[in-house]
Chains A and B, each alone.
Chain A
């Protein structure tokens, strides 16, 4: 009985460790490995510091410990100063964050000044792996209605699918059920971009006209066809073109201009 209980606890601990490792490793940015360097440093540095201290002591360079009471006093003063500085830093951080949000709103407003818009915060994001809807903090009482277009600083976010008095639900363009009529900068003919499960910030461009010359890094914008999205709003850029045996079936991957993982502020186009 005791053994079983013990084995069970060990199993749980091992599972927790494995789960944390899997989560960390699966989300790792290979380019950013500086923390490994830090980890190695933290292993080596205490020994290195100890050896340096011993070396200094041997050389007679141990004058730090001559006046301990002075050092303690100095330490207390520094601690007080430090806490004051930390307080100021916190205040500055709050001001900085407020400033960033206001700047974002101003930038958004300037960029899309031809439309009448209302700014909003993203207050909730979808909690499943297959849908991509967001909830914003403005609703019917602010004049928001279904099918209104939602944009961010970088480009198109999606459209409103339902509203309450104080909130609105937005279907983003990366949702697998989303289809947007678009045009490429090299061709005036319409293509369809749809959300895909493959990558969070990638759309699939289909129905590419056979005569259209598709190039990587081509800009993709809304075509204005379909009745929801106005013409000329940036969707993203073409990242990869996939040629098939039948040219009518070829498709391309579009990287969205908006980073949906970090999206916090949006504008709803009222008119």
Chain B
């Protein structure tokens, strides 16, 4: 029984890694032309938030960190910033799970808005401080707003899948059992 559960957990983790690569190829190909005014969404944030929300147990942070470091290694100017920021998004997911209900579409959307803004503002500040990038508040806010709108639209579309898969992995990892003797 326990062995079967471990196998299920292992397979779920493999599926999450595969989802990361699917998102990577979508971002690198499809979303380079399917853009809103040249702005693409950031589905990595949604994935890591989802892991933090539904799996928790610091796995959101670990996955965020590993995914971010991989992205930095592939395309970043320095290794670490995407790792740290995505790791923090995973932690935020776990914190949000403890304080808010994720059964409502609206709360999920608000969580996506918050984590997208947090991730992008943090990454941009690092760009400015570390690389001396120009501070361009208005263009940055315009891109951020479009990115958030794009992420929200995708979350609305994917919400039924997120909810179903989320409940499955939550039951698997968090073991929300009803203690019948108290009823």
Which A residues fall within an 8 A CB radius of B? 8, 11-12, 15-16, 18-19, 22-23, 26-27, 124-131, 133, 135, 161, 169, 171, 175-177, 179, 194-198, 200, 204
B32, B124, B149, B156: most-surrounded residue (chain A CB, <10 A): B156
The majority secondary structure among interface residues of chain A is mixed
Residue contact B34 to A133, C-beta cutoff 8 Å: no
Q: Which residues of B contact A11 (CB under 8 A)?
A: 156
- Whether, in the assembled complex, B101 has its beta carbon less than 8 Å from a beta carbon of chain A, the answer is no
Interface size in chain B (residues, C-beta < 8 A): 40
Residue contact B77 to A161, C-beta cutoff 8 Å: yes
Given contacts A15-B156, A23-B36, A125-B28, contact A198 B136 (CB under 8 A): yes
Per the bound structure, the CA–CA distance linking A26 and B28 in Å amounts to: 20
Residue contact B136 to A125, C-beta cutoff 8 Å: no
Q: Which residues of A contact B24 (CB under 8 A)?
A: 127
Residue contact B134 to A16, C-beta cutoff 8 Å: no
Give the interface segment out of B13-21, B38-46, B49-57, B166-174: B38-46
Per the bound structure, the CA–CA distance linking A56 and B183 in Å amounts to: 83
| Residues 47-93 (chain B) with a chain A CB within 8 angstroms | 71, 74-77
Residue contact B40 to A127, C-beta cutoff 8 Å: yes
Q: Which residues of B contact A130 (CB under 8 A)?
A: 120, 123-124, 127, 140, 143
Residue contact B143 to A194, C-beta cutoff 8 Å: no
B160's contact among A8, A124, A177, by CB below 8 Å, is which? A8
Sorted from nearest, which 8 A-B pairs have the closest CB atoms?
A177-B131, A197-B139, A176-B133, A127-B27, A26-B37, A19-B153, A15-B156, A177-B133
